[in-house]
Every structure is written in structure tokens, then in C-alpha cells.
Amino acid sequence: MQATRGWIPSRWKRRQYSAAGSKPGPNILRLLMSGSHTNHPLAPMRHSTAHVMAQAVQHLFPGAKFAFGPDTEDGFYYDIELPRPISQDDLAALEAEMRKSVASQSQFVHEDWPKGRALEWFREHDQPFKVEWISQLPDETVSIYRHGDFTDLCAGPHVSNTADIGAFKLLSSGGAYWRGDEKREQLTRIYGTVWNNQQELDDYLERLEEARRRDHRRIGKDLQLFMFADEVGPGMPLWLPKGATIRRELERYVTDLELRQGYQHVSTPDVAKVDLYKTSGHWAHYKDAMFPVMKAGDEELVLRPMNCPHHIQIYKFTQRSYRDLPLRIAEFGTMWRYEKSGELSGLSRVRRMDLNDAHIFCTPEQILDEIVGVVQLIESVYDVLGITEHWYRLSLWDPSDREKYVDNPPMWEMGERYLKEAMARLHLEYVEAPGEAAFYGPKIDIQLRDPLGHSETISTIQLDFHLPNQFQLEYVGEDSKEHRPVMIHRGVIGTLVRMIAFLIEKYAGAFPVWLSPVQARLIPITDRNVDYLRGLHERLLDLQVRSELDQRNEKMQRKIAEAQTEKVPYMVVAGGRDEEAGTVSVRLRSGEQLPPMAPAEFVNRILDDIRNRR
RNA sequence: GCCGACGUAGCUCAGCUGGCAGAGCGAUGGUUUUGUAAACCAUUGGUCGUCGGUUCGAAUCCGACCGUCGGCUCCA
């Protein structure tokens, strides 16, 4: 049915960031208590609808235990422990029950209860999650909202009456852990959406539909870009010729750009001795995401989850002088991560990926300039790719998580200062995100939004004082003494898989000419016109334009229809009239038809597009 | 990994409470020689994800495993 991925998280998470670390503690609870979590004008209504849904659950699922139910960017959800699994039919039944509540025109009533009374009441009504929640609140009174026969712990605000709720729909259900902790109870989360009126709701549902049509997994199959094979394994994409073309073009583009920017491209192996990763700290902090050790004779090898240690070895190849710095070592490095099975998703989350990686080895004095240079590089690439909606996230460590992060508070503080200074110098706004750093250092993540509103990290800039220490990196300074360099890890287009997944959805498969797997489809009207187009075809191939000559025994209309479906940017049609006039007639995938032009003119046009990356 | 759903031809899907596995598209062979989104005829195609169980009989019921999808957790 409504197979929708969660559309909430980004804003919701951003709020968490500003509140506390990654482990949900009292601060998070305060936050959850605070009622509405977004500044959206519809927030009170959405939150109220969550209460109305909870009431319906209370009626239809006696014994349900309520956890929490906030509003989100597009609606609301409620996490509930249910006596049995919930089905699509149940959602329809719940909606019907909710409508009764709306029809009853119940007032939302706010009351302040002494903590003791609240604890007693929720204990009596067998609501252990509420009890746990209240008992951790610091205040002596707790805020309660009631409507009809439903009572909930909640700070509001709410609309005044259930009749004030607009057009709503329950969308889906899924699992969720109590307080986001995978070691705690598994609850059922029911998602819904609510809008001012039916029209707004319909518009929203249409947006969900559109996002589904753009899903890169669907388009990737339809356009034959990539595949997965059960026999190869989950999370291991196989690129088909057309998808491999897009990869190659992106890789060439970025590599050339980097070479021009003073990066040096290298090539290093996918495996290393496990000791390399013990030295780097990956083994201690990142082991869970690594494939297990391969034993070959006396050797213990691992598939690398990151490229940095290899590039560090290249740094150490010779003695480095301050004159060599900044040294920018780059590679489309293949990495392997053992993601848990449930975390895999199309090209967005895989087990084998190629990262547009680079490690900048520099002096502390060079850090700011280098970061500025990387941000400018990223912005220029985004400009070419037409990526306009993105935001910056300063990803910091979580001092309370000594397992995930290198335990060296002064180092983290120093890194944070540098990154903030760089952002200030760039006049960029950013959101702080505790608990999102790499294990070795803080980072600036550039966040993109997919059509469903999910935010995801593609580009990243990470500041690292840790690995240079672990590997005892040195350079000889002006004073002819040895100094320790700093490392900046950065990815501009990130991993090819994730960037291509993003681009497929952004363009809905209609790639700009320079990235299109097929750039021109030449369509003779009858087989007498094949030779006429063959000359143009050969000319295009010589110029490295990806041209295809459609000589099949099919009607021209069908060839056009198929080229449209494949989203080929240029369809070049020629029949008897064109042959006589010495022209071709060019159709764009928009349906627009250009005035007849000489073949040479078309060649210039398409070369111009490609050269300018349009 | 956890909660829930799903897995039928190359693709999209139908197949009710167990009784000989279907359609459209595609592919192949022919006919057609066409002016901007899909010509016509014929042929072809499946150990119903895998393994086991129940049954006279399983695509259908049960179990395990594999995979996919939606959530959660984690993340480039």
C-alpha cells in the first residue's frame, strides 16, 4: 500500500542535536515532553491529531501502552506498544475511529498535575512508558492534556477542539525502539499526516507519489543503469553499461577538476593487513562496520572500510618537507563496509562503494585555507550538477561516548575551533550535530535532501589530528626540525553510488546531455534513410559523442516513443525530405522540435552542451 | 541486527476458501517502408525465491533459510 519511507527525520534530528548527545538522556526527555517540535504553523494541529489517533488506538487496541507521539515536518507519529501486530486494515479502522472523535467535538483540556498524582494515575492505567518518563522529569508538576476519554502527558500546545483537526490520513506503521535505544523495547510507530483541508492533503499525497516515481531503484531498473544479483550478494551493486557510463563521466569530471586544483591522484589496494587498521584505530572504533578478517596462511587481511591509512603510507613514502605541503592525495577509493542487512537500501546504502576521497596533509597554519578551498570546490561541482538545496552540518563528537570516539577532549575542542573559524570565514550558516563526528575528528557535512525530504550526507570535510599521531607522521619545517602535519579527509561528490542515486532522483532519469548514457539517438524514417544518417553517426562517434543509430525494422513513431521512455536528450530524425534538403530534424525529449538543421550544426550544438556540461 | 509486510515468465501484474499456471508488454520469425510517444500475424517463454513439512493432491496451508520493501538502530 502506501509504501513511504519516513519523511520526518531531518528536522526532528536537528532538534535533537541542539538538545543533547546521541544517547537519549533527560534532555531528550524534556524535549519529547515539550509537545510540538517544529515551528510549523500546523504543528499544534498535527500534535493534536497524534492524540486523537492515540485515543482511537486506545479504543481499538485495549491494553495499548503509549510511549510518545510528536508532530513532524509533514504530520505526526505515535510510538505505542500494541497487543498484536497492526495491518493496513487496522489503519483504515483507526481512521474511522478518529473521525468519530472529530465528530464528537471534544475540547482539549490542559491541567497541571503534581508529579505524584501523575505517577499514580499512569501506574493505575498501566502506562509504564509514561511512568518512566514522568519519573525522570525534574519538575514538581507535570502538564497533562485531556480530550474525550483520552488523557496524556504533554506540554502542548493543542488546538482547542478535536473538530479543529483538518484532513488527515494514516500512512504506515513500522518498528521503533523506546527512546531510540536498540537495547530497549521494540514499539510500533504509526505515521500519519494532517493538513488544513482535503486539497492540501491530496497535494501532499501527490508529492509522495512523485517521489515514488523518482525512486532511483525503480528508474535504475527501467533505464538499465544498475542491478543487484542474489548470487553476488546484498549491497553489492553491478553497474550495467549505461550506469557505468554515468559513473565514468562523473569520475573523469571530478578527477580532472582535482588535478587542476593541485590534487595528486593515486591508486591503492582494497585490502590491507589488519594491523594497519589496529594502528589507525579503526579496529577499536569501527570494527563492527568492517568485514571479518581473512586468514591466508599466516596473514590476516581485511577489506578496507576507509582509504586513509593507505594514503598515509603514501605520505610516508619519502621524507616530507614543509615545502611539499599541502600535499593533496586523491583517489576514487573502493571501500567495503559490512552494513547490517536491514540498513541496506538501493544505491544509497551499500556494502561496496567508491569514494571520491582525498587526504590533505598540511601544517596547522594551512588548515583554514585548505578547508575554504575544499568548500569552494564542492560548491563549484554542485553548481555544475544543479544542486542548489543543501545545508551545512558541523558534526561534533559526543563526549559521553568513549567507545565510538577517540578519547582526547583537547583534540576535539581544537578541531571544533578550526572548523567554526573556517565556517565563519566562509560566512556559511550551519547546524551543530553532536554525536555525528568521525571517530577520529569533527567534520563539516554537506546535507542534501532527496525528493522525500530525507537529508543525507554526500560531501564531507573532516579534520583529523589523530591519525597523524597514530602513524607518527612528520615533515621537516623551515627550522629544519620535525613537525607533525594535520590531515583533512574530504569527499566532494562523496561515494559514486550515493551521488548517482541522488542524481537519478533529482533528474528523474533525464540526465543532462554530458551525463546521459545515450546522448543522441538517430532515427531513420525508412531503411532507405539509414545510410544518410550513418555518416552523422560515425562523425559523432569519432567525436566521442554517445550516439546510437536505430536501424531496427520498426516504425519511426515507435523509435521515438522508446527514445522518449529512455530519456535520450536528442532524437535526430531523417527521411526523404531531409535527405533532399541536406538537413536533419531534431527532437528534444521535452517534445520540442527544432527547426531543420544541417548535420554539422547539430554536431556543434551537442558538442557545445557536452563541453559546457549541460 | 530488531519489528512488520512481500517474493508467480526478461518486465508489470492476475491466479477466491488447496484440484492440469494466466494476461499485457518484451523476445524470436515473418509481413509492412512508414514524418515526431508504441503497425499486423505467428511463435516463444515459469522446478510459482530455496529447502523441509502437512495432504490423495500445495503457487495456495505450516516452518526454516535467502532476498526485497516500510520503519527503527547505524551511516558515505
Q: What's the pLDDT tens digit per position in A126-178? A: 999 999 999 988 888 999 999 999 999 998 789 999 999 999 999 999 999 99
- The confidence score (pLDDT) of residue A490 equals 97
CB A441 within 8 A of CB A466: yes
Q: Report the nucleotide nearest the CA of residue A455, measured to C1'.
A: B75
Provide the CA A217 to C1' B11 distance, Å, integer. Answer: 14
> pLDDT tier at A89 (50, 70, 90 boundaries)?
confident
Q: Report the nucleotide nearest the CA of residue A173, measured to C1'.
A: B71
Query: Nearest CA to the C1' of B39 belongs to which residue?
Result: A555
What is the Cα–Cα distance from A374 to A362, expressed in whole angstroms?
13
- Residue A429 grid cell: 550558516
What separation in angstroms does the CA of A349 have from each of A210, A280, A408, A456, A537? Answer: 22, 24, 31, 11, 39
> pLDDT tier at A599 (50, 70, 90 boundaries)?
very high
CB A158 within 8 A of CB A51: yes
What is the Cα–Cα distance from A59 to A550, expressed in whole angstroms?
63
Q: Identify the helix (H) or strand (E) that includes residue A279.
A: helix A274-280
Q: Report the nucleotide nearest the CA of residue A437, measured to C1'.
A: B75
Provide the CA A87 to C1' B16 distance, Å, integer. Answer: 20
- The confidence score (pLDDT) of residue A36 equals 58
Strand order in the sheet with A167-177: A65-66, A75-81, A186-195, A167-177
Residue A199 in this model has a pLDDT that exceeds 90: yes
Residue A26 in this model has a pLDDT that exceeds 50: no
**E-state strands within A337-481:** 352-362, 390-396, 430-434, 443-449, 455-464, 475-476
- The confidence score (pLDDT) of residue A35 equals 53
- Residue A135 grid cell: 519519573
Provide the CA A516 to C1' B52 distance, Å, integer. Answer: 49
- Which residues 6+ apart lie within 8 Å of A293 measured at CB? A274, A300, A301, A302
Q: Report the nucleotide nearest the CA of residue A2, measured to C1'.
A: B70
The bases of strand B with some atom under 7 A from any protein CB are 1-5, 11-12, 31-39, 66-76
Instruction: Tell me, letter by letter, the H, E, C secondary structure of A180-242.
Output: HCCCCCEEEEEEEEEECCHHHHHHHHHHHHHHHHHCHHHHHHHCCCEECCCCCCCCCCEECHH
Q: Identify the helix (H) or strand (E) that includes residue A52.
A: helix A43-60
Mean per-residue pLDDT over chain A, rounded: 91
Residue A7 in this model has a pLDDT that exceeds 60: no
DSSP label of A520: E
Instruction: Tell me, letter by letter, the H, E, C secondary structure of A341-356.
Output: HHHCECCCECCEEEEE
Provide the CA A342 to C1' B47 distance, Å, integer. Answer: 30
Burial class (CB in 10 A: 0-12, 13-18, 19+), A481: exposed
- Which residues 6+ apart lie within 8 Å of A496 measured at CB? A247, A250, A251, A332, A353, A354, A356
Cis previous bond, A157, omega within 30: yes
- Residue A284 grid cell: 577499536
Question: Regarding beta strands A443-449 and A455-464, do their DSSP bridges make them parallel or antiparallel, or are they unpaired?
Answer: antiparallel
Percent of chain A with pLDDT over 90: 85
Provide the CA A446 to C1' B57 distance, Å, integer. Answer: 61
Provide the CA A552 to C1' B44 distance, Å, integer. Answer: 20
Provide the CA A2 to C1' B21 distance, Å, integer. Answer: 29
What is the Cα–Cα distance from A446 to A461, expressed in whole angstroms?
8
> Which ipTM did the prediction report?
0.94
- Which residues 6+ apart lie within 8 Å of A64 measured at CB? A57, A58, A80, A81, A82, A83
Q: What's the pLDDT tens digit per position in A415-426? A: 999 999 999 999
Q: Report the nucleotide nearest the CA of residue A221, measured to C1'.
A: B11
Q: Which of A501, A429, A412, A434 is nearest to A13 (CA)?
A: A434
What separation in angstroms does the CA of A311 have from each of A76, A268, A332, A471? Answer: 46, 8, 12, 11
Rounded to an integer, the average pLDDT of A191-204 is 95
Dihedral angle computed from the Cα positions of residues A203, A207, A209 and A212, in that order, rounded to the nearest 10 degrees:
-170
For A303-321, letters b (16+ CB in 10 Å) and e give bbbbbbbbbbebbeeeebe
What separation in angstroms does the CA of A484 have from each of A315, A320, A362, A578? Answer: 12, 11, 9, 69
Query: Nearest CA to the C1' of B74 belongs to which residue?
Result: A343
Residue A6 in this model has a pLDDT that exceeds 80: no
CB A455 within 8 A of CB A475: no
- Residue A529 grid cell: 534513410
Q: Report the nucleotide nearest the CA of residue A186, measured to C1'.
A: B3
What is the Cα–Cα distance from A74 to A322, expressed in whole angstroms?
53
What is the Cα–Cα distance from A118 to A134, expressed in whole angstroms?
8
- The confidence score (pLDDT) of residue A453 equals 74
What is the Cα–Cα distance from A22 to A431, expressed in whole angstroms?
15
The number of C-alpha atoms within 13 Å of A535 and in the hemisphere containing its C-beta is 12
Q: Which of A411, A390, A400, A463 is nearest to A434 (CA)?
A: A400
Q: What's the pLDDT tens digit per position in A444-500? A: 999 998 877 778 899 999 999 999 999 999 999 999 999 999 999 999 999 999 999
